[in-house]
Amino acid sequence: LNNSRRLRFAILGSGRGSNAVALADACLAGEIAGTIVTVLSDVPAAGILERARERGIHADAFDPGPFRTKLADASEALVIRRLREARADYVLLAGFMRILRGEFLRAFSQRILNIHPSLLPSFPGLNAWQQALDHGVKITGCTVHVVNECIDGGPILGQAAVPVLDGDTAATLHSRIQKAEHGLYPSVVGALARGDISIEGRRARGFRAVPSIDFGP
Ligand code: GRF
């Protein structure tokens, strides 16, 4: 993960796109030495496509095929082709709700990042904020990690902590975690683009987590 030139990033997402916006804005502001070259979604109506187009970023939906949690082989091949055509160096998952399999992982080995709404390895999988509430933890947060074949289990690049407050509901906790995501994801990608992050085995070095906990709503 050592880079000296301006990187080309592709984003895959299925939802609102608030992380994609944070990443795109950080590129425009020069905080990330890179460009978002394309945004692709398995959900044609997803806000992420609209948010990208508003910013003049190429954005397109693709047909994921008949499965609910993964992509059909042909869809995976199509996305790989599009990402290659866009000459993407890295693929940033931002609320992408499907599992990527072998061929995709091999095509962009060590070059796919994800943001997960918990302090991994706690609460992998869906609705991590609800898992945190159910478990009764007092601190949760978000994690940027490399995507490999272990779901939510690849090397951790950066984390930010978020408090769980007494009156929290799933919605209030999720929105506090999302605020932290919007700071964390661009700063980790910024460090990556500067060539500051190196990985040895599971251990990534170069990104210093800022232990600032915002107790606001
Ligand atoms: C984020 O909370 C992220 O952690 C999770 O999906 C959500 C995406 O939100 N993987 P958005 O589409 O970036 O607003």
Would you state the pLDDT for residue 193? 95
Q: How far is the CA of 132 from the centre of ligand 1 (A)?
A: 16
Please tell me the distance from the alpha carbon of residue 89 to that of residue 192, in angstroms, as a whole number.
Answer: 12
Ligand 1-lining residues (CB < 6 angstroms): 13, 15-20, 48, 94-95, 115-117, 178, 181
Q: Which residues of the chain have pLDDT under 50?
A: 2-3
Q: What are phi and psi of 179, to 5 degrees?
A: -60, -45
Would you state the pLDDT for residue 25? 97
Please tell me the distance from the alpha carbon of residue 127 to that of residue 115, in angstroms, as a whole number.
Answer: 13
Please tell me the distance from the alpha carbon of residue 103 to that of residue 157, in angstroms, as a whole number.
Answer: 23
CA-wise closest residue to 159 among 139, 130, 132, 175: 139
Would you state the pLDDT for residue 5? 76
* From 120, 178, 189, mutation site for ligand 1 pocket: most ligand atoms within 8 A of C-beta: 178
Would you state the pLDDT for residue 210? 63
Q: How far is the CA of 95 from the centre of ligand 1 (A)?
A: 4
- Which numbered atom of ligand 1 lies nearest the CA of 22? 13
